[in-house]
Amino acid sequence: VPGLVITVTCLNPALDITHEVAGVDWSGVNRPGQVRVRPGGKGLNVARTLLAIGAQARVLGLAGGGTGAEVTSALAGLGVPATFTPVGGETRRTFAVVDTRDGATALFNEPGPEVTADEYAAFLVTYEKALADSAAVVLSGSLPRGLPAGAYAELVAAAAAAGVPAVLDTHGEALLAGAAAGPAIVKPNVAELEALTGRAIAAADGPDLRAVSDAAAQLRLSGPDAVVVSLGPAGLWAATAEGTWRAVPPGEVFSNPTGAGDAVTAGLAHGLVLGQPWPERLRTAAALGTAAAAAPVAGEFSPGDYARVLAEVTVNRAEETP
C-alpha cells in the first residue's frame, strides 16, 4: 500500500438545504422556522466518518458554480480536506421540506451538472496523482451526468495499477461495471442488490437471508474480492474469500438510512487499510452504521453511541446458504 490517506471520491456533491415548517401550505407562502445548510453527497459523509474515527481522509470530486463554492467553503469549515476539479455546470442542491407537525418530508433533488470529457480528464489527473499516497480509495455515490457508466471501473483499474485497493458504493450500471473491475469491496444495500441481481430480498419481517446470500455470492463472482451487503437494522452480510459472516447490531433505532450506509462504507475502508480480520472489520462497520443511523445528520454520529454499540454487535460465521 503506497500511503496512509484514504481518498474518497465525491463526483456529484450537493448542497443540502433543509427547511423546517410547522404545518406546510403546499399551495401558498411558508416561512420556515429553521433553515439548515450543509455539504452533502455520499462521499462527503464517508470522509467525515473516517476523520471522526481518526483516519486520514481526503475528498476528491467535481464542483462548479456558486453552489460548488458553497460546498467547498462549508467543507473547509468542517475541517474536511477536499480538492474539487472545477466544472462549468452548477453543483446540485437537495432541498428538504420537513413538516414539523406531522414529520412528513418532501425531498427535491436537483440533477447536478453535466460533466464534459475534458473536465473528467482533468479530474483523472488529480485522482492519479492522489493514488501515490493513498492507502485505499472509496468510490461512493452516483456518477454525474455526462460520465460513462464505466467511469468507476476505470477508477478501480487505475487504483489497482497503483497498488491501491478500492471500496465501491454505488448502484445500477456503474456498480455492475465497477464490480467487474475487481475492487476490494463492494457495498450494496438491499435495494441495490435486488436491482442488480433481479432477486427478491426485502420482506416485511426483514431481508430474506438466503436470497441475500445467493445474490451476494453472485455479485462476488463478477469481480470484487468481497461483497458486504448493508441490511439496514438487520446489520451486515459479508461474502469474502475467507468466508461468509453476518454482523447484527443491537436495537432498532434507524432514523437515517443514508448516513448509515455511508458510515458502514467508512468502517469497511478503515478496516481494510488497517488490515483488520473480517469479523473485527464488520463489527466496526456495523457499529458505525448503527451509531450514524441514530444521528439526525448524515455524516455525523455520537462517539458514545458508537462505543456502546461496538460492544454489543455480534458477528458470526454464516453458511453460504443459511
* Number of chain positions touching its own copies (CB under 8 A): 32
Task: Round to whole Å and give the CA distance between 280 and 315.
Answer: 8
The single residue among 1, 22, 104, 121 that binds its own copies, judged by CB under 8 A, is 104
- Tell which one of 1, 105, 243, 255 touches its own copies (CB under 8 A): 105
Judged by CB under 8 A, does residue 316 bind its own copies? no
- Asked whether 178 and 186 are in contact (CB, 8 A), the reply is yes
CB of 141 to its own copies, least distance (A): 15
Contact characters 258-297, its own copies, x per CB under 8 A: ----------------------------------------
308: buried, middle or exposed (CB in 10 Å: 19+, 13-18, 0-12)? Answer: middle
Contact string 111-140 vs its own copies (x = CB under 8 A): x-----------------------------
With left for phi above 0 and alpha for psi between -120 and 50, is residue 22 left, alpha or beta?
beta
Considering the complex, what minimum distance in angstroms separates the CB of residue 31 from its own copies? Answer: 6
Among residues 296, 320, 294, the alpha carbon closest in space to that of 309 is found at 294
Q: What is the rounded distance in angstroms from the CA atom of residue 247 to the CA atom of residue 245? A: 7
- Catalytic one among 99, 169, 214, 262? 262
For its own copies, which stretch binds (CB under 8 A), given 2-10, 91-99, 193-201, 299-307?
91-99
Is 262 designated active site? Answer: yes
CA–CA separation, 61 vs 82, rounded Å? 8
Decide: is 69 part of the binding site for its own copies (CB under 8 A).
yes
Separation CA 63–CA 73 (nearest Å): 12
Q: Is there binding between residue 70 and its own copies (CB under 8 A)?
A: yes
Query: Considering the complex, what minimum distance in angstroms separates the CB of residue 107 from its own copies?
Result: 5
Query: From CA 43, how far away is CA 169, in angstroms rounded?
Result: 9
Residues designated as active site: 262
